[in-house]
Structures are given as structure tokens and as C-alpha cells.
Amino acid sequence: MDKDVSAGSKASPLDRLGHLALGLTLLAFGLGHTEVIDGVSAADAVTLATYVGGIALFVAGLLAFRDNDAFTGTAFAGLGAFWFTWGVSADAQVSANAAGLFLLLFALVALTLTAAAAGGSTLTRTTYALMFVALLLLAIAQFGDSDGLAKVGGWFAAGGGLLAWYGATAALANWPTALPGRPAGRGVTAAG
């Protein structure tokens, strides 16, 4: 994506599809952890995570690699592997520490994507940063058996999901993705 001017001008169709899949999955996963909707838990996001977040995102990553887009390929294939693994193993009986370790390892993947997106759009960087914080909080919640911390992590995940969804929507609709710059005030000079 370009430098926050308009997500629609240079975003590839794979980028749009991938961020839409990531956004919907992360939003469902996050809202499930918040338990803000009565009767909806993170376990209810398993099917969406497996097929949309897992398979669709992974395939979008492979196609991005085919197009020589290493960042997008790495991001989408890696996150597709995360969602697919989480989705198919949701019913598995594992210890809280094993679940926490899984989330912590993928928090590190999200941190890597945040750092690697430094030259990209603010929406993309912020989406991955929110995902990192969410997975880190959810991992700590697993290690410490803290429902309250899991809910906070869920809100970070939901926020990241909304940003990814907005980014994909903005790319399709040619909406702007950055706030207008503040003009230099009196006595302030802009370096060029």
C-alpha cells in the first residue's frame, strides 16, 4: 500500500482480499474474547478462523509470493497458518501454558510484521501492532488464568480487526486512509 494517501490507488487485489479476511477473522476472534455479545465466545469464531482467516489468507499469501511480494506473502501466509492452526485445534485438550505459548509465538510473528511494515501505511502498521498487543495479552491471560486480561486482549484484537477491515474497504472504495496533515502554523517552518 502507498504512504497513507489513498488505499485504493496502489493496493493489489490480493492485499485487499487478505486484509478483508484478516479483518473479519480478527474482529470475530476479538469480539468473542470480549464476550460483549451475549452467548458469543471466541470458540464461535473457529469456522471463520479456519476457512477465511486460515485457508483464504494462506492462499492469498502464496499468490503474493508468486507475484514477488515478499512482505504480503509472509504476512498473509504466516497469519493464515496461525488462524488455521488455531481453528482446527480449538477442541484439542491442551494446557493453559501450551495455549499461552502458542499465542506468544504468534504475537512475535505480529511484532515482526509490525516492524517490517515500517515503510507501509499507518493502517497496516497499526493493525499488526494491535494484533501483537492482543496476542501478547491473551498469552499472558492464558499463563495467569485471567479472564479480565483476556477481555482486554479481545478488545485490542477487535480494534485491529476493524482497522484491517476498514483498510480493505477503503482500498476497494478509494477512500482516504490518512488524516489530513496539519498545516504549519505561524512561526513554524516545514523542512522539505
CA distance 31 to 155: 7
Residue 187 inside a domain? The answer is no
Return the H-helix or E-strand segment holding 76: helix 70-88
Return the H-helix or E-strand segment holding 45: none
Q: Give all strands (DSSP E) within 112-187, no chain letters.
A: none
Q: What percent of the chain has pLDDT over 90?
A: 74
CA distance 67 to 38: 43
Per-residue confidence (pLDDT) for residue 32, from 0 to 100? 93
- Domain holding 36: CATH number? 1.25.40
132 has a pLDDT exceeding 60: yes
Helix axes 57-66, 70-88, angle to 10 degrees: 160
154 has a pLDDT exceeding 80: yes
Residue 56 inside a domain? The answer is yes
Residue 107 inside a domain? The answer is yes
Per-residue confidence (pLDDT) for residue 184, from 0 to 100? 52
Per-residue confidence (pLDDT) for residue 6, from 0 to 100? 40
Write the pLDDT tens digit of every residue in 11-46. Answer: 688 889 999 999 999 999 999 999 999 989 898 999
Look-up: residue for cell 501505511?
121
User: Could you report how far apart the first and last alpha carbons of the chain are, in Å?
Assistant: 23
Which residue range is the domain that position 114 belongs to?
13-173
In the predicted model, what is the mean pLDDT of the chain? 88
Half-sphere exposure of residue 61, counting CA atoms within 13 Å on the CB side? 20
Residue 131 inside a domain? The answer is yes
Per-residue confidence (pLDDT) for residue 186, from 0 to 100? 59
Write the pLDDT tens digit of every residue in 87-129. Answer: 999 888 999 999 999 999 999 999 999 999 988 889 999 999 9
Per-residue confidence (pLDDT) for residue 90, from 0 to 100? 86
Residue 50 inside a domain? The answer is yes
Residue 3 inside a domain? The answer is no
Q: How many domains does the chain have?
A: 1
Reported confidence tier of residue 175, pLDDT bands at 50, 70, 90: confident
